[in-house]
Structure 1
Amino acid sequence: MDQALRRGTRLLCGLALYGVSTALLVRAELGADPWTVFAQGIARTTQVSLGVVVLLVSAVVFGLWLPLRQRPGVGTLANAVLVGPVLDQALKVIPAPQTLPGRLCLLGLGTVGVAVATGLYIGAGLGPGPRDGLMTGLARLGVPVLLARTGIEFSVLAGGGLLGGTIGIGTAVYALGIGPLVAFFLPRLAVRPDRPS
């Protein structure tokens, strides 16, 4: 398969899976990742759908890229445009479980799904997501990556919690599990350059 087609296919599959996996975390109702908690808080305050808020937040984050002199790739733009609508559609068809084991199952599937999705869309090499680019832009200005990532995540989590987003054990599970899971999947899902024949 042509490398450009492989990259594009992985990018689109990864972004679709990201939206569906985020919907699983939301339906688990045990707490989600910080950015989704932030989006939930805004959605509950404004009565706008969660997917639309995700799209609008991505646009605002893009605005923060300007002083950081970050350059978006096609993957960055696709991330901003596709994840929110997929999330909204997935929320329409994924039912909320009535039992704790069912909710824990969705939490686990959603967390692993986000990690696989991240491996696919970042591994495509077509540009970071808007939120990832914010972190790398701050790092280019000399802010340590750990401090930049932690500061951003804590800020949006606190803001989302104050606005009524769902924080719970799922938030902690996600925070502890996503790093090691992405570290496992990313090198396995990255598109490798074609070898010259």
Structure 2
Amino acid sequence: METSEEKNKQPDFSRNISIWIDTYDDIFSDFDPRSFSERNISDDFLNELRKVSHEDSFHINELRLLVPETSRNQESENIISKHLHAFFRKNAHAYQEQVKQLREKGFSFVLISVFLLIAASYISSLKSENIILHTLLVLLEPSGWFFIWRGLDHLISSSRDEAPELDFYNKIAKSKIAFVSILKNSGQKEEIDLLKS
């Protein structure tokens, strides 16, 4: 028999994801010689992380970086954890602004197109032979349709192209980062530290 506490318990739609790395350098670009706090994140690492995170729409509770136990260094992991969080938050904010700008531009174009097409319809209803009005009609109609298609393109593009990247960076930016020791001899995985920031 279920208790009231069990009935009220919400299902957990979160999960943990794991990425295996041989060394900390696997996280960063091979062509960047700077320290862990400044190095560019590797495209291969991001692509693998993106692929794993897109397997479903669940919230990512924890990103686990699996490292050989003999390669671990607490100080380096603290630095890397902070750097990764800063990177994902920065990109999440950048994509959020990009999506916002695309949508604002899209709505502006659609609004302009409505005014242009209303003006064209009004001039057309006058059935005037005036050359100036006729020229305005010729200019307003295609301009109105151009702006409406451009506006819709911006609105669709913000959802089709930018929204998935925004979702990816938001997911990872909100997750915890854990470095997990891999005991190669026994083949077992032992979690040593959860680095929260």
Report if TM-score (shorter chain) is over 0.5: no
Structure whose alpha-carbon radius of gyration is higher: 2
Higher relative contact order (CA closer than 8 Å, sequence separation 6+): 1
Task: Using structure 2 for the length normalisation, give the TM-score.
Answer: 0.30
Task: Using structure 1 for the length normalisation, give the TM-score.
Answer: 0.30
Which is helix-richer, 1 or 2?
A: 1
